[in-house]
Chain A
Amino acid sequence: MDKLKLIIQREFIAKVKNRSFIIMTFLSPLIMIGMGFLIMFLTKQNDNKIKEIAYVDNSGIFSKSDFKDTKTIKYVEYTKLGLEETKKKVEEGKYYGVLHLPKIDSLESLAKSVEFFSKDTPGLSTMNNVEKNINSKLSSLKMKQLGINEDKIKSSKIRTDIKLLNFSGEKSSKLASGAKVIVGSIAGYLLMIFVMVYGQSVMQSVIEEKTSRIIEVIVSSVKPFQLMLGKIVGNASAGLLQFFIWGILLFVGVIVGAMFLGIDSSELFSQDMNPEQMAQMEAALGDKAKMFVELGKLPWLTMFFLFIFYFLAGYMLYSSLYAAVGAAVDNQTDSQQFMMPIMMPLMLAIYVGAFTVVNDAHGPVSVFFSHFPLTSPIVMLMRVPFGVAWWEILVSMLLLVATFAGVVWIAAKIYRVGILMYGKKPTYKDLWKWIRYSS
């Protein structure tokens, strides 16, 4: 037991002292935020250039007020100059494009004969804007032709906003649903990345012990299983430390973000908020604030503990496989062929999460994969924000723990033989042979 502690300690310190760990922990959140800002900035830059569109209206039914300028599009009338001359101006680069509305009496035919000339193919959003303007004018003219009162039509439009409720009486909304998808996905992705990063680091550490040839010295002092376990636990502790640091950073980030939007942070984390307050806040801040409020209503504590549990169990399961792979090969490049089967269930979990849980968190596929041990850590985490019965979680946990024990047992067998094997790259047949060796 003392030796296991020593190994865990060494592995933890070796990992935490590593420069890449420090960089990952403190720099990657900054890089993520920076990337977010960069993307926002770049999209803005991209749209910032105002596109001036010249239009030639031969039909004579449009007026300047029908073409509303937006932040990025400006309409200029060039009917008098004529189509050909205006085209030339576009070619000279003075305007983005020419919109040509031919002289056709029938509104339907006109709608099909509108032309747009430009040097570059225009973006979707630009065309949408142009079409919307023409549509609304032509529709309103058509309504007049048919003798329909346009104002009445407008006032007859009703927008439905279904309020979602579950049987415990909690109110929910589509916005909340969106928030759940986002939170669940983030948790799932985070878990996958953690498992992959830390699993890889266990593998690397095993390979390092093999290539530096210290392994035989170590296993003459401790049992290979102790070494493997110590390595896995040591790396997991480093992972948890990193997770807690990120958690604190995120917490601080949310508080700062809330302050920035003007929400009292104590209200943000309280479960019940009276409708008056909510209404006030909604009125004042709109959707952004609502999102924050919805986020605050999620079962954070449960999710936190489940994240820790699924992270530990999932990580243990996968990292023992990574350790076995590391033991079986002599160097990183040889590990590729054995990595595929490890990565596949992780990828599957993410895809299942992204396509089925999002659409129907309690559908049969989601339920199955949230119990299947190789995918359950990720898929279950994605489902949890939507509310999963406690017994379902329990079953999934038990299955995971049982599988984990079995996988560790097999991995330890491969590990034990593999660490002392040099030279030949093993095949799956070899691994099978190793599993059946007596100690």
Chain B
Amino acid sequence: MGNLLEINNVIKRYGDYTALNDVSMHIPKGSVFGLLGPNGAGKTSLIRIINQITMPDSGEVILDGEKLAPNHIEQIGYLPEERGLYKSMKVGEQALYLAQLKGMSKSEARKKLKYWFEKFEIGDWWNKKIEELSKGMAQKVQFIVTVLHQPKLLIFDEPFSGFDPINAQLIAKEILQLRDEGATIIFSTHRMESVEEMCDYIALINKSNKILDGKLEDIKRQYRTNVFEIGLETNNPKEIKERLSQNFEVSPANFRSLNDGLKLNVKLTNNNSANDLLSFLTSNGNVNHFVELVPSANDIFIQTVNKTN
């Protein structure tokens, strides 16, 4: 599978300030691509360039094999972080207007809107004004408007803000389904647990530079520490701990468990395998917890950003 979007050596300056410094990244077709970074790192600048709201000073953006051009606007759906709708306009009218701005015909837009309004069970909002809706309700309308024209590329900037957990889950499910139907998704957020849940690939931007990118699994493998959380029911924990320290690096653990007993973080060393550790443990008590400590997206984020600061 090729790349839907290729960003090559993009530089963007605002006066003396450099917002993007030679940033490149490739976004594979049909993936959810997490665009991460601290506030002010340059994520929004990059997203605005992809949306052709601003132009890069140098570098190029390739969408599906073609250099980005005005006619691509219709193939992109964008849900900005700073979003809203005309307050005094009616829901239906407004959705039709925004869909038409994305190049849909009125009748087509009406048909698709009907489908989505039924799906989200909001059919009776059609003639309501936005100002009569709650924030979450307006967000639903906004989500529909973003995806309505079935774009190849969808860009979601903090899509879950303003949603309660139930609706957030509904939206997450819809996003993943859109991916399964062939859309490519750029997903920008500060909520790392949703990165874990949704992203296939991530890129990390800090201070205008890309500092990390790749498949989430690969990155996690890179950041792997070979530390295991173990829980063991034993009569002489002190002795076990001492014996463990001879072959492994042992440190106190910090996890919750319903069982009592010895809780430790154990790091594999000297070519020991996980099996060696497990067999040692099973021969010395009842193992009730054995998990590899895989670095979370959150850990990777904090580590990498701190390293480059």
Contact = CB atoms under 8 A, between A and B. Distances in A.
Contacts of A214: 83-86
B83 A216 contact: yes
Interface string B146-181: 000000000000000000000000000000000000
A212 B84 contact: yes
Interface string A414-439: 00000010100000000001000111
Contacts, number: 65
B98 to A, nearest CB: 7
A212 B70 CA distance: 25
A217 B55 contact: no
Given A6-B97, A220-B76, A221-B102, A213 B55 contact: no
A95 B26 CA distance: 99
Contacts of B76: 220
B38 interface: no
B57 interface: yes
B97 A216 contact: no
Nearest to B88: A14
A220 B73 contact: yes
Interface in B89-106: 89, 97-98, 100-102
Nearest to B50: A220
Interface in A1-56: 3, 6-7, 10, 14
Contacts of A433: 15
A212 B87 contact: yes
B51 interface: yes
A437 B98 CA distance: 28
A200 B86 CA distance: 18
Contacts of B97: 6, 10
Contact of A217 (B88, B98, B100): B98
A220 B55 contact: no
A388 to B, nearest CB: 44
- Is chain B's interface secondary structure helix, strand, loop, or mixed overall? loop
Interface in B11-65: 14-15, 48, 51-55, 57
Contact of A221 (B84, B86, B101): B101
B145 to A, nearest CB: 8
B80 interface: yes
Contacts of A216: 53, 78, 80, 82-83
A437 B79 CA distance: 25
Nearest to B48: A420
A308 to B, nearest CB: 29
B14 A220 contact: no
A218 B83 CA distance: 10
Nearest to B70: A223
Contacts of A438: 55, 57
B83 A213 contact: yes
Interface residues of B, number: 30
A217 B102 CA distance: 10
Interface string A203-217: 000001100111011
A111 interface: no
Given A212-B86, A437-B14, A439-B54, A220 B100 contact: no
A213 B84 contact: yes
A164 interface: no
B53 A212 contact: no
Interface in A210-256: 212-214, 216-223
Contacts of B55: 438-439
A221 B98 contact: yes
Contacts of A219: 53
Contacts of A217: 78-80, 83-85, 98, 142, 145
Given A212-B86, A213-B82, A217-B80, A222 B101 contact: yes
Contacts of A439: 54-55
A214 B82 CA distance: 8
Contacts of B79: 217
Contacts of B100: 3, 6
B53 A14 contact: no
Contacts of A220: 51-53, 73, 76, 78, 80
A309 B48 CA distance: 39
Nearest to B101: A221
A3 B98 CA distance: 10
A130 to B, nearest CB: 63
A423 to B, nearest CB: 11
A429 to B, nearest CB: 11
Nearest to B14: A437
Contacts of B82: 213, 216, 422
A433 to B, nearest CB: 6
Given A212-B84, A217-B78, A14 B73 contact: no
Which of A3, A7, A217, A433 has most B Cβ within 10 Å?
Answer: A217
B147 to A, nearest CB: 13
B127 to A, nearest CB: 14
Contacts of A420: 48, 53
Q: Which 9 A-B pairs have the closest CB atoms?
A: A213-B84, A221-B101, A216-B80, A212-B84, A220-B78, A220-B51, A214-B84, A213-B82, A439-B55
Interface of B: 14-15, 48, 51-55, 57, 70, 73, 76, 78-80, 82-89, 97-98, 100-102, 142, 145
28 contacts: A3-B100, A3-B101, A7-B101, A10-B97, A14-B89, A212-B85, A212-B86, A213-B82, A214-B85, A214-B86, A216-B78, A216-B83, A217-B85, A217-B98, A218-B98, A220-B51, A220-B53, A220-B76, A220-B78, A221-B98, A221-B101, A222-B101, A223-B70, A422-B82, A433-B15, A437-B14, A437-B15, A438-B55
Given A213-B83, A437-B14, 14 more contacts: A14-B88, A208-B86, A212-B85, A214-B83, A216-B80, A217-B84, A217-B145, A218-B98, A220-B51, A220-B76, A220-B78, A221-B102, A420-B53, A439-B55
